[in-house]
Amino acid sequence: MNIKQSNSKHIYILGAGPAGLASAYTLTKQDESVVVVDKDSQVGGLSKSIVYQGFILDYGAHYLCTSPQPVLELFNEILGSNKVNINTLIRVYWRKKFLSYPPKIHELLSVLSWEEIIKVISSYLQAKIYPNASIENYHEQLSSRFGKYLFEIFFKDYIEKVWGISGKQISANAVARVTTNLFEKYLNIFIQLIHNWFTSKSFTSNVSSNQVLYPKKGSGQFYKGIAHYICSQNQQVLLDTEVVQVKHNSFLINELVLKNLHTGPEEAHKCRGVISSIPINLLLQKLSPSPPERILNLVKYLKFRNTILAYLIIEGNQIFPEHSLYINDKSVQVVRVTNFANWSPDILPNCYQTPLCCEYWCDFNESIWQLSDQEILVQAEQELREIGLLAQQTVSSGFVVRLARTHPIYTVNYQTALLEIQDYLKQFQNLQIVGRGGSFSYFDQDMVLLMGMSSAKDLLNSLKAL
Ligand SMILES: Cc1cc2nc3c(=O)[nH]c(=O)nc-3n(C[C@H](O)[C@H](O)[C@H](O)COP(=O)(O)OP(=O)(O)OC[C@H]3O[C@@H](n4cnc5c(N)ncnc54)[C@H](O)[C@@H]3O)c2cc1C
């Protein structure tokens, strides 16, 4: 094994996704020596963009859900005018209808019977008058917020489709984006609308617009820009390079073993500090000496859900005006459909074809994960026709991406295990863990970017104290 002694001043960043790149950017600005390592051949992690037949496509559209000031500043600095501000049009497919977001009262009345409206109101009032004082899981949490009846008809099946388990097996503090952000906001307005309609009050939703920022050439453009800045400051981004081992001495990481996946043998790199955004379970396995058996055993409580993305190129334009559609219907497996043509014209090579992406969530043992790519594409096309998104249009081609362990699942017992693992890792004096898989947090780009920036500062403070 080669040993790179010269690297002993470097801070190594494991993973070139949003979290790792935000850390590397912050350290570079502080004139630190930085090496970013990623096993992929391009930067961006789950937020990279891929190119297919000239289309620039994300893993499902990757827009910034919120823009906290430091993230906004970074976005502006890196992209300049290469970004678009999009007023997203989103709809929720429920009971065979595409409902507006925010919902409209006449649409709700068209999908609910009188009897159901009475049940929605009475079970909501019951939940408010007799609040559940000991909420133990996500099922109970949502039932107590929206009433049992609305939970049953709106949330129950969707949660099972997305997470593969019932709401009773999910922690009460789950902050799952697909259900909490959009669906919870949706139901808050839903309840408000019905209440005000009953009491003849007018109601204006505060979700009047859904403005989001998006790079002109896909989400990956932003991350390529950050990597470009880091390299322009004479720092390194090593792609196609896997982290094999993280060696430490009395909780001080002093050496990394890296392997170039195309060329090299394993190489030992001396290091001063580490920020890790690789999945937390992987990091634990790579530590040498190994963590105690008890810590390694806790990893089984940190479960992830997988994603399958079926991309279909449709002959025709203006297939539908929405940016994203959430499919709350258990007769089809697709969870979300993205129409990339509506995001940015710069990601399209022509104006007569439309790239759509169907998103599926699953475990390794579910039948959809075992299907061939061709079978998945056939299923995606059938489902789009079934819910009325495709009519006469033909599908000219497509491809499938399978992403393992994309969504951390907040099961009822994940938190105790995670806290114990975090306590163990906190003993490392020159290590910070960041990111979605890296910290086992159901965070989107905005949050992991912030986390990456602040962890870089925390690492510098702890290095000063050494
Ligand atoms: C289908 C889907 C849709 C999404 N939509 C949105 C959206 O619309 N908006 C939004 O803000 N967020 C969205 N997200 C979430 C977003 O992708 C993540 O929050 C973000 O990419 C997490 O960044 P990260 O740096 O923490 O991790 P990652 O992006 O996962 O990056 C981790 C990196 O570590 C590398 N790595 C792992 N193991 C090793 C190893 N042994 N050696 C070297 N490198 C390694 C990986 O190759 C990867 O590049 C979506 C996620 C998915 C899956």
pLDDT per residue as tens digits for the range 94-148: 999 998 877 777 888 889 998 998 998 899 889 989 999 889 998 998 898 888 9
Ranges of beta strands (E only) in 173-318 are 211-215, 236-238, 241-249, 252-260, 266-270, 273-276, 287-288, 303-315
Closest atom of ligand 1 relative to the 40 alpha carbon? 47
How far is the centre of ligand 1, averaged over its atoms, from the C-alpha of 369 (Å)? 20
User: Nearest 5°: phi and psi at 48?
Assistant: -80, 170
Give 385's contacts (C-beta < 8 A, 6+ positions apart).
Answer: 391
Pocket lining for ligand 1, CB < 6 angstroms: 14-20, 37-40, 45-47, 59-65, 242-243, 277-278, 282, 307, 359, 403, 406, 435-438, 443-446, 448
Q: For tokens 């850390």, what's the residue?
A: 23
Q: Residue 363 is encoded by which pair of tokens?
A: 């475990």
Say whether the peptide bond before residue 102 is cis (omega within 30 degrees of 0).
yes
**How far does residue 48's CA lie from ligand 1's centre (Å)?**
8
To the nearest whole number, what is the mean pLDDT of the chain?
91
- Burial grade of 454 (CB within 10 A; 0-12, 13-18, 19 or more): middle
pLDDT at residue 381 greater than cutoff 50: yes
Out of 16-25, 159-168, 237-246, which region has the weakest mean confidence (pLDDT)?
159-168
pLDDT of residue 80: 96
User: How would you list the strands of the sheet with 266-270, edge to edge?
Assistant: 2-4, 266-270, 252-260, 241-249, 287-288
* Cα-to-centroid distance, 444 and ligand 1 (Å): 9
Flag the least confident range among 371-375, 402-406, 443-447: 443-447
Neighbours of 43 (CB within 10 A): 27
Closest C-alpha to 313, from 398, 392, 373: 398
Q: Considering only CA atoms, which residue is closest to atom 49 of ligand 1?
A: 45
Question: Which of 37, 46, 57, 442 has most ligand 1 atoms within 8 Å of its beta carbon, as the pocket-test mutant?
Answer: 46
Task: Write the DSSP assignment of 19-80 as a string of letters.
Answer: HHHHHHHHHHHTT--EEEE-SSSSS-GGG-EEEETTEEEESS---BS---HHHHHHHHHHHT
State in Å: Cα 189 to ligand 1 middle. 31
Residue in 14, 444, 454 to alter for ligand 1 test, most ligand atoms within 8 A of Cβ? 444
- Name which residue sits closest to atom 15 of ligand 1, judged by CA: 444
**Partner residues linked to 431 by β-bridges:** 274
Q: Which residue has the tokens 């919120």?
A: 66
Ligand 1 centroid to Cα of residue 443, in Å, is 10
C-alpha of residue 188 to centroid of ligand 1, in Å: 30
Please report, in angstroms and rounded to a whole number, the separation of the first and last CA atoms in the chain.
29
Distance of CA 406 to the CA centre of its chain: 7
Check: CATH 3.50.50.60 for 2-48+65-85+215-299+413-465?
yes
Q: Is the dihedral of CA 310, 311, 316, 317 positive or negative?
A: positive
CA of 432 to the centre of ligand 1 (A): 17
Q: DSSP assignment, residue 171? A: B
Q: Which of 13, 41, 47, 344 to mutate to test the pocket of ligand 1 (most atoms within 8 A of CB)?
A: 47
303-409 is a CATH 3.90.660.20 domain: yes
List the residue whose alpha carbon is closest to atom 33 of ligand 1: 15
Instruction: At 386, list the tokens.
Output: 């079934």
Tell me what pLDDT residue 240 has. Answer: 97
The rounded percent of the chain whose pLDDT value lies above 90 is 73
Q: For residue 147, report the distance from its CA to the centre of ligand 1, in Å.
A: 35
Task: Give the nearest ligand 1 atom to 21 CA.
Answer: 25
* pLDDT tens track for 204-227: 544 445 788 999 999 999 999 999
**pLDDT for 145:** 84
SS3 427: coil
Token pair 């990111």: residue: 435
Quote the ligand 1 centre to 277 CA distance (angstroms): 9
Flag whether pLDDT at 179 surpasses 60.
Answer: no
pLDDT for position 8: 77
**Phi and psi dihedrals of 241, rounded to 5?**
-125, 120
Other CB atoms closer than 10 Å to residue 132's CB: what's the count?
12
What is the Å distance from ligand 1's center to 391 Cα? 34
Query: What is each CA distance from 280 to 6, 194, 275, 432, in whole angstroms?
Result: 28, 44, 12, 11
ipTM summary value: 0.99
Give the residue extent of every domain in the chain: 2-48+65-85+215-299+413-465, 90-198, 303-409
Q: Is pLDDT at 6 greater than 60 in this prediction?
A: no
CB-CB contact of 269 with 12 (8 Å): yes
Cβ pair 451, 73 in contact under 8 A: no
Contact status, residue 178 vs residue 335, Cβ threshold 8 Å: yes
